[in-house]
Amino acid sequence: MIPVKICELLNGLFPTGTPIVLHSLSVVLRPVLSLRKVIKDRIIQTEFTHKVLPMLSFHLPRLTLMFNMAFLGLFAATFGMGAPAMAQTKPLKIVALGDSLTAGYQLANGEAYPDVLQKALVARGLQVTIANAGVSGDTTTGGLARLDFSVPDGTDAVLLELGANDMMRGVDPEIPRANLTKMILRLKERHIPVMLFGIPAWSNAGPDYAKQFNAIYPDLSLVYQVPLYPFFLEGLIGNREMMLADGIHPSATGVREMVRLTLPHVEAFLRKLPAKP
């Protein structure tokens, strides 16, 4: 077709309009217009080759990376890739089974070891609830007797801290060894993982007694493959700020120190548990 400007020019030259003349001009101008289109296409192609292609080549790695990242992000969002190893919707139910060191002897509500530990674990990103099953004055015999009651069905793990009162009363070390063994085995039968907390014998217990008693916790940890924190009151004995006036039980400050020291070990133990859907 003849361009509009040429038609306007022809209309000025031929006011009455002459189809024959227009057709003739169209025939004459068609090769010219075709040549013009070819030249224009060549120019565009040349600009693309010398300008656009080098630019694309320069940015191609970056564009490829951006595309891959976008694709992987979409894929992960769609299929749930990249989720934390312990992603869960329900909190793990933990039971802290122990004596007065667990119960929080003479401490205010929320200051006992299980309460402070739970807050620390939640702050670390773990969804947990820790039931305080500590009973002041309890021995391993008492703990064994109330094990099934204190650890209900649905419990995901137990933090087992007992034996200090056996030691303070001079109970034959074979008794707490046997009781702790039974508790570990019973919990294993129920498929409930256990973490053991030890308490070394005091120096005034005598070397023979201390040797027998102190061997209990590492022996059970090795034989039954349960994680062990060897000394529940590590760093507290003899520190007045960390202990109550009796020198036996931790103060609120002492409990916070216990949590600070045990937290990495408890966290590592809990992160190995299967996530709850």
Q: What residues act catalytically?
A: 100, 246, 249
The tokens for 174 are 């074979």
What's the rounded Cα separation, in Å, for the pair 124 and 264? 10
* Tokens 């400007």 sit on residue: 5
Instruction: Give the CA angle between residues 220, 103, 257 to the nearest 5°.
Output: 80
Residue among 186, 202, 205 at smallest CA distance from 194: 186
* Tokens 């507290």 sit on residue: 236
Q: Answer for the pair 157, 269: CB distance below 8 angstroms, yes or no.
A: yes
Q: Answer for the pair 102, 134: CB distance below 8 angstroms, yes or no.
A: yes
Residue 265 neighbours by CB under 8 Å, 6+ apart: 195, 227, 229
What's the rounded Cα separation, in Å, for the pair 98 and 137? 9
What's the rounded Cα separation, in Å, for the pair 274 and 133? 23
Q: Answer for the pair 270, 235: CB distance below 8 angstroms, yes or no.
A: no
* Total H helices, total E strands in the chain: 12, 5
Q: Answer for the pair 215, 181: CB distance below 8 angstroms, yes or no.
A: no
- If phi > 0 it is left, if psi is from -120 to 50 it is alpha, else beta; for residue 87 that is beta
